[in-house]
Amino acid sequence: MKIKLNDFLTMEFDGRGILRANRNVLLRDFISDPTRYIPDAGVLGEIQAADAYARMEGTVREEMGLEEDVRRLHEKGVDNLLKWSLAAEEVKANVHGANKQFLDAAFIELMSSMTMSAPMKLEGCYESVYNARWHHVLEVPGGEGTGMYVREGEAQQSWTYRAVGKTFEKNDGVQQSGAVRPRLMVLTSDRGWPYTWGQGLNELIHDCYVNCEVDRVWQTVKGGLTEWFSSHGKNKISPDPFVLIGTPGIGKSMAAGSYLLYQLLHYDAKRLQMVAYFIGNRKFLFDKTTKTVEKYSAASSIVDILDGFSGRGLKGYIIYDVALKGHQTSTALPCKGWGMIVVTPPDKNNYESWAKLVRAKKIIINCPDESDVRAMCVWKEHNRQLEEEEADYWKKVKDRMDKVGPLLRYIFDDSEYKSRLVSCEGKVKSMNLFATHYYSILGTNEVCDDSHISHKVVKVVRVRGGSNLELPLNALMSPYLGNLVTCKLAELMAPNNFILLVLAIKDDLLSKPLEKHSVFTFFSGAFVSAIIPKLRELKLQEDVPPHRCALESRPHERPLKPCLLPLLEKFKKKINIEYRVLYKPEAQNFPLVDAFFFVKSNPKTLVGLRMATAGEHHTTTSTVRQFTECLAAYFNGWEELSREMSWEMIYVQHENSTPMNEWQRCDVDNSDNVSRAENREIAAFWEEEVRQYQVSVSSRDFK
């Protein structure tokens, strides 16, 4: 039982007895020496007298006894049920009674299932996968609306790659300017793919979507095979194993798993004679010499079967998809002469021990991007798989992506999407202070398990570490969930702790995944104090006298709590303006600012915050007009309040960005929504009444 002491005390005793020094202490360690971890005799006595403690202690001691039995049996060479049945009586005598009874019963069940473990031949399935039909979606550079279209067959020009370490990255440098390029490839199998075989689904999934990220996985696997066969018999008994890690729900199993299977079946049969495909508790064996596929029962030991093939000199490749909990990768795989890739979500319990044992190399697959998903919508429309017109369908799917992220499992199905959204919103809204520590993985390469409540709102992004090895960076899943999470964390945590947790993890303060949420740094008194001396006024004319910004003259009035402004179409009732509140719009295209707050000065001041990476960030009169219209829609009495209100803009940049040095203009753009007279009035207001400041920041400003 890998539950930590502090977690147990929180769940059962409302946190009584928690000590910071015990944050990594497991219950088994505590059971062994309770007074070491809770020195207060009174508190310890109350805890040990409780029924919850007695139940926990019994469970932990049973588990410890089981682990001790397993260790002793391994020392005696007993590592499977057959060897247990043949073990000497003195070996069995050292096993605890309950564990001995369990092993005896398991062996009897194994023997009774042997007659039912013969494989089932799946007629026509090998041919269906091997002969899957190609289509591709082409993308016209700069095209919109009609910029994508479907063609039969393989694309004449596919993606190109460059080697980076032991894996590959797409090489955009060789793309000819203006050339039509493939955005998506589609493989269609009449009998579906193993991902859905035997699941009892009403409809098989026939289409396997292959984008650049999926193809990159195959290029890496193929590169490993090429290297191994070129040096066969010299140093390695098998090709390098891989572990493919990606966000749950993006299509790893259906896309990457199916595409790898297709390509491996087409790989030189003289070199690879077989492909084994594991997914959850389902096991399939593809024989390339007889062109057949057999399905093995859950009770069968396909590991022993593969060992038998290996012993006869046959070579193959194993695709091991950890699709279900409790189906961790077998440490007995791969067998000699076989390659292997494990497909898994970022749950280290699924693969960590196996990967360390076999020294598997990580492949991190990114989520599909917006253009990939749009191409899938184009294909569905072309293939008559939807009722709506393409333009309307894509808009609906795009809106879903903005909410729950680029998860193919949810964005193409209305009921799945609604259920996922409600679940994610519920997770965030029910978050308490204790749960906030799970979000410390943001911006780090730490791989967690899916018991963390954060796993529904965090996706993995590929980055490169030392020796160009691939690493999974944890980023917020979507703009909408990012807003919900950061606002909730800011509400629950002390300002400095929140900043350090989410933004100061790395020196990349304004990195793309967290850029829009960097406005929450203004909750921190230490941060505000650190940047005030660094604020530079941007002047329209150099000879104009300096003007102290509101944050400098009244630093104690920095915002203390967040308020997420929902989309206007969902906003029901206007609210009153509050001071010391950071207003963060949910809309990703909110005009002019990323966030803003009000300072109770004389006159009152609106402070707009804009995160910027470029050396200039000019605006237009129509954008300013849209901003004021939004404020009038959100706040009671805005027309009257705004008459005597001064404006300030603070442009926040990372210290490595090109700094702004000049006044940011408000250009007249002659929008149909703004009259000429109003254009001139807005432009004059911007020049005469809006003060501008620039500040360059880094993580050092949090210290």
pLDDT digits (tens, 9 = 90+) for 126-160: 999 999 999 999 988 764 555 888 999 998 888 99
Q: Average pLDDT in the 32-57 region?
A: 87
Regarding predicted confidence, which is higher, 464 or 218? 218
Phi, psi angle pair for 208, to nearest 5°: -105, 115
| Band of residue 513 on the pLDDT scale cut at 50, 70, 90 | very low
Regarding predicted confidence, which is higher, 239 or 94? 239
Tokens of 584: 């963060």
Regarding predicted confidence, which is higher, 205 or 117? 205
Beta strands in 192-325 (DSSP E): 207-210, 242-245, 274-279, 282-287, 292-296, 316-321
pLDDT at residue 261 in the model: 98
d(CA 472, CA 644): 50
pLDDT at residue 301 in the model: 75
| Most confidently modeled range among 17-31, 277-291, 362-376 | 362-376
Bridge partners for 207 per DSSP: 188
For residue 28, the number of C-alpha atoms closer than 13 Å in the C-beta half-sphere is: 13
Cα angle 143, 146, 147; round to 5? 30
pLDDT at residue 281 in the model: 81
| Band of residue 175 on the pLDDT scale cut at 50, 70, 90 | low
| Band of residue 457 on the pLDDT scale cut at 50, 70, 90 | confident
pLDDT at residue 369 in the model: 94
d(CA 342, CA 611): 40
Q: Is the pLDDT of residue 491 over 70?
A: yes
pLDDT at residue 357 in the model: 92
- The share of the chain scoring above pLDDT 90, in percent, equals 39
d(CA 508, CA 273): 48
Q: Average pLDDT in the 40-61 region?
A: 85
Q: Is the pLDDT of residue 173 over 60?
A: yes
pLDDT at residue 508 in the model: 38
Bridge partners for 473 per DSSP: 461
Q: Average pLDDT in the 581-609 region?
A: 91
Please state the domain extents for the chain: 5-116, 516-702
* Least confident window among 428-432, 505-509, 519-523, 658-662: 505-509
Q: Is the pLDDT of residue 506 over 50?
A: no
Contacts with 172 (C-beta within 8 Å, 6 or more apart), sequence order: none
Phi, psi angle pair for 29, to nearest 5°: -70, -40
pLDDT at residue 361 in the model: 94
pLDDT at residue 627 in the model: 96
* Least confident window among 241-250, 286-295, 326-335, 627-636: 326-335
pLDDT digits (tens, 9 = 90+) for 186-227: 999 999 999 888 765 556 889 999 999 999 999 999 999 999
For 332-354, the DSSP string reads T-SPTTEEEEEEE-S-GGGTHHH
Q: Is the pLDDT of residue 36 over 80?
A: yes
Reduced to 3 states, what is the DSSP secondary structure of residue 72? helix
Q: Is the pLDDT of residue 116 over 60?
A: no
Q: How many CB atoms lie within 10 A of CB 290?
A: 11
pLDDT at residue 510 in the model: 35
Contact 363, 243 (CB under 8 A): yes
Regarding predicted confidence, which is higher, 390 or 150? 150
Contacts with 454 (C-beta within 8 Å, 6 or more apart), sequence order: 438, 439, 441, 442, 448
What is the rounded average pLDDT for all residues in the chain? 85
* Least confident window among 387-401, 515-529, 614-628, 689-703: 515-529
Cβ neighbourhood burial of 551 (10 Å; 0-12, 13-18, 19+): buried
Contact 273, 287 (CB under 8 A): yes
Regarding predicted confidence, which is higher, 473 or 114? 473
pLDDT at residue 82 in the model: 63
> Is residue 611 left, alpha or beta, with left meaning phi > 0 and alpha meaning psi from -120 to 50?
beta
Q: Average pLDDT in the 363-372 region?
A: 95
Q: Average pLDDT in the 169-193 region?
A: 81
pLDDT at residue 636 in the model: 95
* Least confident window among 76-90, 156-170, 216-230: 76-90
Nearest residue to 521 via CA among 562, 553, 578 = 562
pLDDT digits (tens, 9 = 90+) for 276-320: 999 888 899 999 989 999 998 776 677 888 888 888 888 999 999
Contacts with 379 (C-beta within 8 Å, 6 or more apart), sequence order: 135, 137, 150, 184, 186, 207, 209, 385
pLDDT at residue 230 in the model: 87
pLDDT at residue 166 in the model: 82
| Band of residue 19 on the pLDDT scale cut at 50, 70, 90 | confident
| Band of residue 114 on the pLDDT scale cut at 50, 70, 90 | very low
CA distances from 612 to 260, 352, 393, 697 (A): 41, 39, 33, 11
- The share of the chain scoring above pLDDT 70, in percent, equals 88
pLDDT digits (tens, 9 = 90+) for 614-672: 778 899 999 999 999 999 999 999 999 998 899 999 998 877 788 898 999 999 887 66
pLDDT digits (tens, 9 = 90+) for 392-416: 889 899 999 999 999 999 999 999 9
d(CA 293, CA 172): 38
